[in-house]
Structure formats: C-alpha cells, structure tokens
Amino acid sequence: MNLRTASAPTGTESAAAIPAATEEPPAADHAAELRPRSIQTSPLLDDAARHPVQWVYERLGTGDTGLTSVEARTRLALHGPNDIASEHPPGWARRLLLACRNPLVLLLAVLATVSIATGDVRAATVIAVMIVLGVALRLFQEKRADVAAESLREMIHVTATVMRDGAAVEIPIHEVVPGDLVHLAAGDMIPGDVRIVASNTLFVNQATLTGESLPVEKSAGTTPAPTDGRSSDVSLVDAVNVCYLGTSVQSGTATAVVVETGPRTSFGRVAASIAATEPPTAFERGVSQFTWFMIRLMCVMVPLVFFINGVTKHDWREAFFFALAVAVGLTPEMLPMIVSVCLSQGALAMSRKRVIVRRLDSIQNLGAMDVLCTDKTGTLTRDEVILERHCDVDGAESARVLLLASLVSQMQTGLKSVLDRAILDYVQSHSDSIPITHDSYRKVGEIPYDFTRKLMSVVVDAPDGRRMLIVKGAPEEVFRRCTRLEMSGEMVVIDPAFLADIGEEYDALSTNGFRVLAVAYREIPPADGVTTADETDLVLCGYVAFLDPPKETARAAIKALEHAGITVKTITGDNELVSRTICRSVGIATRHVLTGPDIARMSDVQLADAAEKASIFARVSPADKQRIVRALQARSHVVGYMGDGINDAPALHAADVGISVDSAVDVAKASADIILLDKSLAVLAEGVMEGRKVFSNVLKYVRMGASSNFGNMFSVLGASAWLPFLPMAPIQVLTNNLLYDVSQIPIPSDRVDAEQIARPRPWAMGEIRRYILWIGPVSSLFDYTTFLVMYFVFRASTPAHAALFQSGWFVESLLTQTLIIHVIRTDKIPFFQSRASGQLIATSITVMAIGAWLPFSPFASSLGLVRLPSLYWPFLLATAVAYMTVTQLLKTVLLRRKLI
C-alpha cells in the first residue's frame, strides 16, 4: 500500500508489550482489559477470527495465491466498491431541500403565495426576494466549505498491495474485494476488515477506531470460541488476528485475507449509523420554536383583525387585505437574510483562523455551546510518545538506566518502535546534561522481540571488557527473570517474599498513567551465541516510563474555554489512569470518572445524572460516546464534540456542533459541522467567540423585529375596534415594514458588547417570549398616545381625515421603532455605554429621514400619506424620548431580575 501515515515509525515493541497502568501489581498483560469492547462487526468476521486459516480460505473461496483478476471483477460487481457512502457530500437538490425546510422559509413562502393569489404582487415580491437571498447565501457558503473539505480528501490517494493471478500488484483501495490476499507493511492503511494469516512483529494503530493512544500487537492464530453460548467471550477489539478498515500498520509486516469491505466493515457500519438525516441543531430547534410562536400569534391576531375591521368598517375586502398586511408585519421576513449574512461573515472570519464551516447553522451552536466533549489523543496531548522518566527501583533518576535502555534501542536490528525512538530522541536532546555515548560499546548479538516473551535483548562488550546481556521489556516478564536488583549502589538478592515489593515504583508510575518498561542485565561469558534461555538470573536496574505529553497550549486553552462558560469533558477510548494523568496536567477536574463498563450498566436517566458530574469518560466505545452526548443534551446543554476517528463519528453526528480536523478520517469529517485545519483547542476558543458574535447579532434582529411587530399588532387591534377607518392602509403597513427591515440590514456587522459574548447564549425561547411580552406593549403604549393626539388634537376622527391619522401613525411607528433598535441591541445604556456600528447608525438615520420625508414626497399620494402639521413634530420628539427612556428602564429591571 502506498499511503504512509504521518506517524509511521516502526519497530518490534509497542504499548501491547507494556501493560496499561493498574492499581494493583500486574501479573499479566491487562492491555486488552483496558480497551473499549464494543464495536460493530459482522458475523463472518467473528467466524473468521475463531477458525483456522484454511477454514477462512474455504469460506471466502480464496487461497495462498489470492484471487484471479476475473474472479476479482465478479466480486467487485457483486459486493460493490470498497467505499463508504457517507463520505460523499449531498448534491444540489438535497442541499436545496434542506435549506427550504427551514420553518421560517416555509412560513414566508406561504405568505408570498397568499399575496400572489390575492393580487398583492408587491408584498409577494419583497418576501420572495428575502427567501431567495437567504437560501442562495446558505447554499453558496455550504458548498464552498464542502469544496474545501473535498480538496483535502483528494490530496490522499490510497492503494493496496494484493495478490492477483498469483502475483503481488497495487490497486486502488476501492477495488479491494472480500477474499483478496493483501500484504501489509509499516505505514499502510488496512484496506478492509481482515483476518491475519501470517505476520512478523506486527503492530497496528487503532486510535481512529478505539481511541487507544499506542499501537497494539497483532498476529496470526485463532481467537478463543465462546464457551457459554454467548456471542463472544473475547471481544473482536481484543482479537489479535483481526484488523479493521481505517486503522494503520505501525510496524512489522503481515499477510491477511480480506473478509469484509465497504459498508459491511466496522468502519462502514459506523458510517451507516450516522447516514440518516442529521438531527436539528439547537439553533434550528430555536428558530422552529420561534416560528411556531409567531404562527400561533398570527392565528389569533389575523382573524381578529379581519373580523373586527369587517364588522366595524363593513368592507370585508379591505379588511382581508389589511389582515394579510398584518400577517406580513408579524413575520420577521428579514430573518433568513440576516441569519445567512451573519453566518457568512462569521464563516469568513473563522476561515481566517483556519477553520472551515461545513454547516452554517453550527456557528450559532458553537457560540451557544456550554459543554465541549473532546478526545484526548492529539487534542489535549501532542500525539507523540516521549520518554518522561528513567529511574532506578527507588524512583531516583538514573543515567545508568537510560544508558542500558538506549543501548537496546540503538543496537537492535528490528524496526524501531515509537518507544525506541522516544528513548533515542531523549538521549540526543539531553546530550549536554546527560552525556551518553554508545561508541565504546560493541554489539555481539541480540534476541529479537516476540509476542510470547515480550522482551528484547542485546549482547554488548562494555568498555571495561565485560560482556553484558541487556534486557528491556514488559515489567512483569522482566521481574520473573530477575534474581537480584541494584538499590542505592548495592546489589540486593531478591527474596521470593520481596518480589511484590520491587514493583512499587513501577506501580507508582503506572498509577500516574505512564507506559512502563523494565530494564535489566547480567554479565555473561564469551560464547558463540545467546538464546532466550540466557534471559535468566538477571539484575533489575530500573524503569523507563513513557507518556503522550499534554500540549503546551492545552491548559491555557481549557482555561480560556472555562472562563467563557464552557465545561470541558474528556471522552476517550484510553484507560482511566492515563486519562486522569493527562487531564490533571491540563487543568481538567479528575474527581469524577466514568468508564465504559460503568456506562453500560446505566439507564439513560442514570447516565444523564452521572454525565453532569463526570469530567472524564474512559474506555468508552463509539456507542457510549453517542449516549454521553445525548445524555448531556437531555439536560438542556448545547453540546460540542471534537474528534477525528472512526470511533468519534456517531458522537460527532449526535452533537449540536461536531468539530473535526483536516487530518481526520473521512467519516469523521463527513459527520462534522466544523473542520479545524489546526488540531488545537486554542483555535476552537477563538471560533467560539466568533460564533457568539454571530448569535448575538441574530438575536438582536429577533428581539427587535418580534417585539416591535408584536407591539404594533396590539395597536392595530385596539385602533381597529375604536376607529371608523383603518388605522393604517395595507400598503402603508408593508412600506413601514420594509423600511424597518432595511434599517436592520447592517446588524450582521454591528458591534457586540464584550458582556454579550462572555458566556454561552443558547437559543432560549422563554427569554425571547418574555422580551416580546414585556417590551412589545411599551411600543403599543406610545402608539396609543399617538392615536389620542391624532384623534383629539388634530381632529383626525372621521373617514374623511383617515389619511392624516394614518400618516401620523406611519411616521411615529417607523421613527420610534427604528430608534429603539439602539436600545434593544445592547444591555447597556445606548449611545453612552454602547454605540452601534457606523453602518447601523447610518441606516437608522437614513430610514428615519425617509419616513419623515415620505408624507411630503411625490410618493405620498400613492402611499395614501398627507402632510403633517407643524405641531406634530415636537410631539413626535417627546414621544421618541419618552419611549426610549421607558424601554431602557424596563430593560434594566428585566436584566436585574434575570428575566431576559
């Protein structure tokens, strides 16, 4: 296979050779116990793992020479290409359908249709333009983001080496079929779910599937069959003879037979589980709630307006058009455009921070997010193993231990593992403080690593003439071969009763999450060669301990996220002790930890309770991750999930905002809403602020438009019942509404107060409803003062003076609601403590000037407007000042009582 992974160092030793940390002295390799146990596999793969190779060959119709080209083509036609369907982005038709399913778009479309049917083409045209602009901007932005993501995928071309017609050939991975015999080498991607038939020190990186940070050992053989009728006694995650599509070879070589391809693989089954329609985001749910609230309001008010005006004016046709204009006035028709422009500007700002937005609605969710679930490896850690400790049995730093360990790593002839490289890199980087040289040692032999011994040994001639056998490997295997140990410069004989005590330092390192190797040696006489029988009577020298260290930026980024009101929780397939160590070092609380087995025993309600308290979820499966996300959502959290593996795809899909990286597997990127070009929480923290700015500006429009329109409708109801004429002509209502909308076009670029983005701001329909119900009637209050002045002061009380009354309310309504934008847009005192953007101030002034000019303009007669008397303008000024003052005072009271 031609594709080599970025982390493809090779070797004969891995984490599988080192037991994962436990809280008791290990007597065996517990690594398998600490792996996540639940992945979706096929019955055929299960059978292949539990039967001999010859049975597998017969079952799959293949053999040691692989398939013929003719048979391979037949199977490709039968099984289909080795592709995952979820990797392909939706087409234009699908995108258009998803965009048009927005409930507000549907509402506007209905109103536009009614307007056309009743002959009100002007209203229909305005609404249609808003729909087209909103949908088009959304389609364009989502397509642009997907093109960027697709360009990343196209940079990777994956091939596999298979046996065809008895010869090894390279073919595109999508042409691999069940029964193919594949050759695997270091750096190769596994081209399907495969059963190993032969191997040489094979180690596989399963991090994308299980979340384990270090490779696991794989070999040929059979997995034990179930003994009690259950489907499995040994999970296929633990089966050493099975590898999965999407994982990669870390070191060694192997030959394997392909059992499953494409959607039938474990990778494919995960992809199928997320292939259904994406669940609505928190923002989409909020828009839907808001829309239905407005629809219910319309269902009450529009019939009332129609009935009252029909009964009192006896002109049912005019009453119908007026009611229709009221319905349009109740609809914040600019919302799709405002949302799309806000999102587009937010996406552009985030792209400058190397963040690709795939799903526009997710930007608001990023700002509303109050819980971030993140994987550990590569996000909190550097995704590279380093040597952290080299100590004697007492725990003191020991240059001698480092020397002996580095001699084995340097002089062994096998492929060097990540642990060997970590040791040698440490020696090189610390050459000034710990001078170590290998030049004076001469290698005379070695005993390679194997799965049974879990040891590696080299024989060297030391500068003083002694010949030494140096052993490095799994601590429990080294311990039982040792008879003495070095302690405080003295040689101490190990008494059998003392054997448990010598592992205290090892236990301490394991408890702190380190991967540990023991180092021992013995002097041997000159001989022709050495065998494994010579690995006895050893002297225990000490330990080398490894860790995937935390990123330097992780602690500061987590602190910034928590300061912004976001709780960070770690969800990982790695073991609990390693997870605790990393989380403690980056500032994540470690008091409450849930593991996969814990989660499996819990109901959804119990998990929701436990997930609130837990900050670390360890040893979890992909299904567990998805359950955790949904449990947190059930507690009204807006949940973000950051991951890059196959095992993360279900959780990415379920989260309110799924976050992945450009180096992620394709199914993870296909499930994500946002793609980071740098896998860093610091970049994410900046994106959160952009998301909150977008959300704040969208919320401004909703508050302004809905509260103003709501207040106007109360005014319409009262005036309709009282006056012998319409309080405002239908064309005046539509013109007023259009001008008000124009005044709000710059909202996406408006300034946002720091306090408004300091904490998560989820879409809270209750808060919006309270805002409308409290602020809206204030508008009505001053509308009624205007009615009284126009009716009693200016004598506009008969149908003959209807135009004067309508002109007075038209100007007052437009000017006051345009001016009140500056009160509603901030929680502070407008103009003094918080000032709008220059564009918003300019459009406000322009719209107010147009509103005052229209009664005197050439368009006055067509709009049914007349000139207003001179005395009207001082009254209008007093009304505007009083309206702003009362609204500001009421807003302050509501904020202090935390009602809005």
Helices (H) and strands (E) in the chain, counts: 31, 23
H/E element holding 345? helix 335-351
CA distance 808 to 792: 13
Residue 229 gets the label, from left (phi > 0), alpha (psi -120 to 50) or beta, of left
Q: Is residue 483 helix, strand or coil?
A: strand
For residues 178 and 261, the answer to whether their CB atoms sit within 8 Å is yes
CA distance 230 to 634: 33
For residues 189 and 665, the answer to whether their CB atoms sit within 8 Å is no
Reply yes or no on whether 501 is catalytic.
Answer: no
Strand order from edge to edge, sheet including 567-571: 355-357, 674-676, 657-661, 639-642, 371-374, 567-571, 616-618, 593-595
Q: Determine the Cα angle at 584 with ends 581 and 589, to 5°.
A: 125
CA distance 681 to 374: 9
For residues 226 and 220, the answer to whether their CB atoms sit within 8 Å is no
CA 71 to chain centre: 42
For residues 775 and 824, the answer to whether their CB atoms sit within 8 Å is yes
Could you tell me the two tokens for 244?
């999965």
E strands, 687-818, in order: none
| Sequence letter at residue 801 | H
For residues 60 and 257, the answer to whether their CB atoms sit within 8 Å is yes
Residue whose C-alpha is closest to residue 242's, from 228, 224, 229, 268: 224
For residues 541 and 400, the answer to whether their CB atoms sit within 8 Å is yes
Could you tell me the two tokens for 725?
């004429």
Bridge partner list, 471: 457, 520
| Sequence letter at residue 190 | I
Catalytic residue among 46, 375, 644, 662: 375
CA distance 146 to 141: 9
CA distance 545 to 387: 6
Active site residues: 375
